[in-house]
A and B are shown apart, each in its own frame.
Chain A
């Protein structure tokens, strides 16, 4: 089983975002792997191991498009256990979901993975498009917003659950496929490869941290840096970002001292009860 996991570098979502003069100012931020992509890496690691802490069978290849120092995030993913990494030089300002999907399509054609597993969206652009566009361009099936993956023993299909508005949807999907994951995917028993791990297999209820041994091992793993041009990518973006603006702030409200006062305000002032 070879799994390709595209990962995006995003600014720390817990830091206050600076928006000024029509632009987002990221000069003072710290960078990290998009949380949903990190969950996808965790899921991919589980799908290629014989239970928690078990031997890895197959390959988890991580790929990112970003500036040179994105190698730091890729090294971390290698330290978690990913097999090797590819960094394609690029800058967010010159990318959109379609171009990212086209670059990934070229990577898929070269790597020929059994599965592309990625986050449902990046927490900066919040597009929620790349997985679906990639599947369309490849002519592959897609399974989005996944909460669980049970990979069949034959390695040819998977049973997945998706978080949809009405509840939880269960689907069968043929491989190769593009799958995008939601946050439940890192639950203890959310992901399993029937060929490798028994039904009793359990993992931590979150993504794994890199061990010291993992960090040492990651230094020797392959991290290849290439360009989109070398993959034969031409043409530009289809969606242009014109400008950013800070959202209107809500007027600070009032503090009430008691339940009585709250009920009176909601009834007489806001007139909502």
Chain B
């Protein structure tokens, strides 16, 4: 008889739960409802006791696997910890947000468990059934996991961030088995430094496409980005052309965003870009080509060059802010 608990891998700093994990907790609660069980968080790392306590505010219980050898999120060392945690609480489900860590570690854990996995779910339709986008978001697919343990990554933009629970959960320590990185080691993490909000969490995203022509063009839309307190994004074509770093890429092969307001400037709207932004609440497109597919998804379309429209747009928003 399989258990009923839902295990959710939570990502943290040494002191705090990362907000990227909050949508996964919401998805875990839905699964816990379907299973009639509790939500158990799993925090892995080195010196993460404070983070585990922070995470406990959101779930019924936290398992904390605190070990110096687990400081780096290596799938080789973390996946066996996930398996140990699933077995310890006899979990019916294992989920996490579809971050780069989640996408790396969870399938390896599924492989070790011999469990079926649904990637980047956008809906929980039952204890073992999920909805997920396929074909770059051109289809929504209902899938059913056929194994006793269910594994899934959660698309962050499609579940609300969880709020703290009425009462904080307990924290229990989890002893890892033998830790073997199989020769893998982290050499360095080159963090993209930006004073702007995280692309996947920003309320406003301003993206530029190939039509921006060069990095100088992007400087103009950066002014608009900062004026709105938003994050800068880009199409794959702009990233490929080297105008901006690839970690700004929005789309099927980049990041999936769903801000309140999305500006697509000089972006034609290839399928693979739309896959990353069409859940945005309000979409504004500025493009000189009236036939650009981006206009088919835009709430407000302005057919003009960015050179002739973005500078006055900045000036008018400034004036509006000054007046308001």
Contact = CB atoms under 8 A, between A and B. Distances in A.
A238 interface: yes
Contact of A273 (B146, B181, B317): B317
Contacts of B173: none
Contacts, number: 250
Interface string B99-134: 111011111111110111111100000000100011
A168 interface: yes
Interface string A127-161: 11111111111011111110100000000010100
Given A163-B246, A272-B261, A262 B182 contact: no
Interface stretch (A59-67, A69-77, A241-249): A241-249
Contact of A245 (B118, B140, B144): B140
Interface in B281-320: 281-284, 295-303, 309, 312-313, 316-317, 320
Contacts of A145: 100, 103-104
A174 B320 CA distance: 58
Contacts of A166: 100, 189, 191-192
Contacts of B320: 263, 267, 273
Given A167-B190, A247-B133, A259-B312, A96 B116 contact: yes
A165 B198 CA distance: 9
Interface in A118-134: 123-134
Interface string A180-201: 0011100000000000000000
Given A128-B119, A239-B143, A259-B312, A144 B189 contact: no
Q: How large is the interface on B (under 10, 10 to 19, 20 to 34, 35 or more residues)?
A: 35 or more
B159 to A, nearest CB: 17
Nearest to A135: B108
Given A144-B104, A170-B186, A252 B300 contact: no
A272 B111 contact: no
B25 interface: no
Interface string B1-35: 00000000000000000001000000000000000
B111 A101 contact: yes
8 contacts: A129-B119, A132-B106, A132-B110, A162-B100, A170-B188, A173-B184, A250-B283, A253-B297
